[in-house]
Structure 1
Amino acid sequence: MSKVEETVEKVSQNSSAYVESGEVYEPTGSAPKTGKWQSFKESFRPADFGDIDPNLSDAEKAAIATANSPLSRSLKGRHLQMIAIGGSIGTGLFVGSGTALRTGGPAGVLIGWILVGTMIYCTVQALGELAVTFPVSGGFSTYSTRFIDPSWGFAMGYNYALQWLVVLPLELVAASIVLKYWPGAKKVNSDAFVVIFYVLILAINFFGVKGYGEAEFVFSIIKVLAIVGFIILGIILCAGGGPVGGYIGGKYWHNPGAFAAGFKGVCSVFVTAAFSFAGTELVGLAAAESANPRKTLPSATKQVFWRITLFYIISLTLIGLLVPYTSDQLIGASSYDASASPFVIAIKNAGISGLPSVMNVVILVAVLSVGNSSVYGCSRTLAALAHQGLAPKVVGYIDREGRPLVGILITMVFGLLCFIAASPKEGDVFTWLLALSGLSSVFTWGSICFCHIRFRSALYSKGRGLDELPFTAQAGIWGSWYGFLLNVLILIAQFWVALWPIGASPDAEVFFESYLAAPVVLVFYIFHKLWKKNWKLYVTNDEMDIDSGRREVDLDLLKQEVAEEKAFIASKPFYYRAYKFWC
């Protein structure tokens, strides 16, 4: 049969088929059946957003645009589970905990991480309730616009985008620093390693949310296995089972002591602890790209409790037992110097050869994981800002595969700053980039808690109840108040430590290195007030939109399903109910 006869036959068999450039396309579902190359080219075309009524207010337009974002909804339950369990485990825990141990002592580290950890638990529970109910593009910045104030939403959106924007070059430079742990790598130009990592992260994000999800799934498994292995090893070493050192027990809590610098030392730990939890909120941002957030997100948010308890608290307790805060190896190292990792130091002090290098590989994986997350977090936030009319329209370009291409491009272009790795000014640039992102997460978490408080207030004021929510925060409204107030206290404590550093006199440069994020947020907030002439301090309960973005629009049916689910769980034995509550 000739090519022309094949074409005529295909078209005659399918009345909706059409011919373009000599090829036959047969629509099946929403897209035509094409060749691989044609499908590849078509995937970069803009997705259809649909029309939005121009007569709506800016807040209403923003709510509808973010609710109808054409991001791909292909994240599976296992992706969200691992993002929740291991997504934020990075250099803040593996390396930054060394700085915290030096300034706070073992007791200061535990107090700081426990307080911040409980705050994170309450925050993620509040975020889970909002994200399951409103799995919209932009997540928390969008919630700030809807439930607090458009100006604050603008400030939080750009604060969060800027946080991840600077983290990418930071992590790429950090990866090259981590490699310097091995003597052979010291002879190689740092930019050679940076190029490899840059291309790897670009390739992962080129595959869209599936690429991000699969990469984080693998990265998280490696990090979790490493921490579990370290916990087992740490218990053995404390009990005297190591090659050298004998029984250790709690001797370092007595000499040199539990606290390094008293109350101020404990306050200095808060920001390091907060930095180690940065990225926990990504599970809420990923809700917009989850296939079934109502089913997978509640379970993912509950995993945070176990991650905080098992991975952070237990491992840091062991670190405080194995490494004295006066150790020379903790002094003068940077936040990304793998040789200053208390995990590496503990293994080296025990006289175990080989394992320090393995731990260093895990630190490298953690660095790349955070770099990968930075592209995801920044690109999605930028796209959401554009959809709300708060960034140039082109920034919100999303292709037919659900990739925010312009947002990814902006993030990767800014990431080229990573090539300062071979520059003599690397340290200065590194310090100021870190200053921009240091407190950003604290503002984000405080806003999430306050959004939850405001949402519940609007829900009750409109005569509606919790029975229409697919998932409710386990910590409730009081947990959000606790989280919000603790974030405020962290900002106050960090202001004190930044203005009057431990063992030093006040210095403007030192202050802004620690507190630069705060004036940046304030500038964004004031700019939006002046730009939009928005003189309201907050959105009133009557004005608040608590319906746009819901995937379950039939509230009566939803209430019935929620009631049936609760009744089913209540009918089960205690062990099943306990499992569903915690997992």
Structure 2
Amino acid sequence: MPEKELSYVSSLKQSGGVNVDVVDYDEDKNLSAWGKFKDSFKRYDDNDLGIDPNMTDMEKLAVKTANSPLARTLKSRHLQMIAIGGAIGTGLFVGSGSKLSTGGPAGVLIGYAIIGSMIYSMCQAMGELSVTFPVAGAFVTYNNRFLDPSWGFAMSWNYAMNWLVVLPLELVAASITIQYWNDTINPASLVVIFYVVVIVINLFGARGYGEAEFIFSIIKVLAVIGFILFGIIVDCGGGPKEGYIGAKYFYNPGAFSNGFKGVCSVFVAAAFAFAGTELAGLAAAETANPRKSLPRATKQVFWRITLFYIISLLIVGLLVPYNDSRLLDGSSSVDAKASPFVIAIVDAGVSGLPSVMNVVILISVLSVGNSSVYGSSRTLAALAASGQAPKFFNYIDKAGRPIFGIVASCLIGALCFLVASNKEDTIFTWLQALSGLSSLFTWGSICLCHIRFRYVLKKNGRDTSELGYTAQTGLWGSYYGFILVILVLIAQFWIALWPLGGSPNASDFFENYLSAPIVIFFYICHKIYTKNWRLYIKWQDIDIDTGRRELDLELFKQEIAEEKAVIASKPFYYRIYRFWC
């Protein structure tokens, strides 16, 4: 190993790391339950990390993120359910309705399949990086490490801002969902309940988030599987109201609506639907054994894309014509009345099931709101550790919570009370615009970080034999994912500038493309402030060792070889299972 890399490893060994399953804040056994609770909010004493003052800023950042005191309490079952259910939300259950109207059933399938293939490639790249470097901030800090600090600053704030604005949006969506049953209830009173629930869950730290998502995801997964079975029965003529339906709606009114432009309009909606897929990587630093847990979690993406999205959307397209006026009804894109899933059940004439599906939609909304607090607080902590956000955001308490990041997210979340304002629609339209393209930039950057990592590994005369997990899609998968992100951004620019059924106007353009100029603004401002005019970090200056939990690479290689030999000795059906799951 090169001398420079050994110095990083030595520094990490000197620091001791924070290799704990649960941060032990019960130092005083005589404290009462209330005393222990109060004591848990005190700052975790991380002592001296052993950072050499002669290190560069990038080297110091690598050591800090590798030694974050975030509690490692997430288990394999948490990560797998976060990966499976993390992106099953309103984007699928409700948002797909408007895109069924603009793109047609075949257009929706094509759009979601293309974005889904990009997501699979991205998750494989993220899995490889996160298993190798399970550091605080994960892909948020990889940009600083493998690409460029200014791009890292822009991407980190882009990602943090995305999750910060999602919380008030989802809380309002929850209140709108309740109005499906009773529209006389004051939505502001409903928002209070959901707001408190999300805050309480996140005060239990990573374990609270993991357990909540585990339960939420199981419910969502069962709901999707149940809908698929229900849809097959109804389509084949088993419903109480209508006989055999088959594929008649693919012929009349047709498979496509608005042609190629209609398909392009589906891309961003699909990206919004898949947002949150990357959270399993962000949770790597708080996972007891990411080398065992993360590979299985990232592999689950294939099943989520094929089973939960493609098959369920195919069923929806078979049961609901794209010209059904109800798909565009409602005051919001998260209005349960506009859900094609609910419409399909209502048309089938099965009483009671529409309410069940709306309960699932409500749970999905709360799940995304819960994830938004987790994602934004960890991102803000990583930004503070790198000196790109106020230092107090890097305050990690004895329970392993980035408490000020959680507080900031909850304060921004209070915007949900604007639901009582008569300007509610305008405000939340622009909040949604802030997060519109955010995920695409994040996913493209993850793919590019993977490309750079592999390049540096090769230039140092090393190979993938030292990696705990190798992306199934390989390096070409990251190239595919990155190029596809660029093409989707171009397609969305076209749709934003020349909207469907309209002429070019500033309002429509920024509602659909606001994220892009904001990212560029952050990038340029950081370049000007730091006077760092380099476009990228030279490969010689990239550290590919700090942050690994396995410091003895030779021993680690031997362990990997033994594990592969054990799997190779198993029957073929077991090998196939382990490849996909």
Give the aligned partner of residue 208 of structure 1.
Answer: 205
Distance 1:472 1:436 in 2: 34
Give the aligned partner of residue 391 of structure 1.
Answer: 389
Give the aligned partner of residue 515 of structure 2.
Answer: 517
> Cα offset for 1:47?
1.1
What is the identity, as a one-letter code, of the residue corresponding to 1:564?
E
Structure 2 contact 188–420 (Cα < 8 Å) conserved: yes
Give the aligned partner of residue 19 of structure 1.
Answer: none
Give the aligned partner of residue 79 of structure 1.
Answer: 78
Distance 2:26 2:359 in 1: 45
After superposition, the C-alpha distances for 1:296-330 in whole angstroms (9 at most, x for unaligned) are: 11111101101111100000000010000000101
Matched, 1:249 2:250: no
Give the aligned partner of residue 33 of structure 1.
Answer: 29
Distance 2:43 2:372 in 1: 23
Which segment is superposed worse, 136-145 or 161-170? 136-145
Matched, 1:62 2:61: yes
Give the aligned partner of residue 115 of structure 2.
Answer: 116
After superposition, the C-alpha distances for 1:229-263 in whole angstroms (9 at most, x for unaligned) are: 00000000110110112110000000000000000
Counterparts of 1:544-563 in structure 2, within 5 Å, are: 544-563=542-561
From 189, 196, 203, the equivalent of 2:193 is 196
Matched, 1:141 2:140: yes
Counterparts of 1:10-409 in structure 2, within 5 Å, are: 31-35=27-31, 36-49=33-46, 50-51=48-49, 52-182=51-181, 185-333=182-330, 334-409=332-407
Matched, 1:577 2:575: yes
Matched, 1:463 2:461: yes
> Cα offset for 1:120?
0.3
Give the aligned partner of residue 524 of structure 2.
Answer: 526
After superposition, the C-alpha distances for 1:181-211 in whole angstroms (9 at most, x for unaligned) are: 11xx311211100000000000000111111
Larger radius of gyration: 1
Change in CA separation of 1:34 and 1:295 when aligned onto 2, cut-off 3 Å: farther
Change in CA separation of 1:331 and 1:567 when aligned onto 2, cut-off 3 Å: same
What is the identity, as a one-letter code, of the residue corresponding to 2:349?
G
Distance 1:57 1:555 in 2: 24
RMSD: 1.1
What is the identity, as a one-letter code, of the residue corresponding to 1:33?
K
After superposition, the C-alpha distances for 1:460-514 in whole angstroms (9 at most, x for unaligned) are: 0001110110000000000000000111111000000010011111111000000
Distance 1:40 1:327 in 2: 53
What is the identity, as a one-letter code, of the residue corresponding to 2:152?
G
Distance 2:572 2:273 in 1: 35
> Cα offset for 1:39?
2.3
Change in CA separation of 1:29 and 1:390 when aligned onto 2, cut-off 3 Å: closer
What is the identity, as a one-letter code, of the residue corresponding to 1:104?
G
> Cα offset for 1:332?
4.3
Give secondary structure in 1 for the equivalent of 2:243: coil
Distance 2:140 2:530 in 1: 17
Structure 2 contact 26–36 (Cα < 8 Å) conserved: no
Change in CA separation of 1:317 and 1:504 when aligned onto 2, cut-off 3 Å: same
Q: TM-score, normalised by structure 1?
A: 0.94
Give the aligned partner of residue 10 of structure 2.
Answer: none
What is the identity, as a one-letter code, of the residue corresponding to 1:328?
S
What is the identity, as a one-letter code, of the residue corresponding to 2:268?
V
After superposition, the C-alpha distances for 1:409-433 in whole angstroms (9 at most, x for unaligned) are: 0000010000011111110011000
Give the aligned partner of residue 539 of structure 2.
Answer: 541
Stretches of structure 2 lacking an aligned partner (at least 5 in a row): 1-23
Greater than 6 Å deviation, 4+ residue runs: none
Structure 2 contact 156–379 (Cα < 8 Å) conserved: yes
Give the aligned partner of residue 17 of structure 1.
Answer: none
Give the aligned partner of residue 484 of structure 1.
Answer: 482
> Cα offset for 1:37?
3.2
> Cα offset for 1:32?
4.3
Q: TM-score, normalised by structure 2?
A: 0.94
Change in CA separation of 1:204 and 1:471 when aligned onto 2, cut-off 3 Å: same
What is the identity, as a one-letter code, of the residue corresponding to 1:542?
Q
> Cα offset for 1:45?
1.1
Q: How many residues align?
A: 554
Give secondary structure in 1 for the equivalent of 2:539: coil
Change in CA separation of 1:255 and 1:97 when aligned onto 2, cut-off 3 Å: same
Distance 1:59 1:332 in 2: 51
Give secondary structure in 1 for the equivalent of 2:321: coil
> Cα offset for 1:30?
9.1
Which segment is superposed worse, 327-336 or 539-548? 327-336
Structure 2 contact 25–39 (Cα < 8 Å) conserved: no
What is the identity, as a one-letter code, of the residue corresponding to 1:378?
S
Give the aligned partner of residue 432 of structure 2.
Answer: 434
What is the identity, as a one-letter code, of the residue corresponding to 2:425?
G
Identity of aligned residues (%): 68
Distance 1:492 1:48 in 2: 48
> Cα offset for 1:331?
2.4
Distance 1:389 1:480 in 2: 29
> Cα offset for 1:335?
1.1
> Cα offset for 1:141?
1.5
After superposition, the C-alpha distances for 1:138-175 in whole angstroms (9 at most, x for unaligned) are: 11110011011111111110000000000000000111
> Cα offset for 1:55?
2.5
Structure 2 contact 25–40 (Cα < 8 Å) conserved: no
Structure 2 contact 171–416 (Cα < 8 Å) conserved: yes
Distance 2:202 2:328 in 1: 37
Change in CA separation of 1:539 and 1:325 when aligned onto 2, cut-off 3 Å: same
What is the identity, as a one-letter code, of the residue corresponding to 1:153?
G
Structure 2 contact 179–185 (Cα < 8 Å) conserved: no
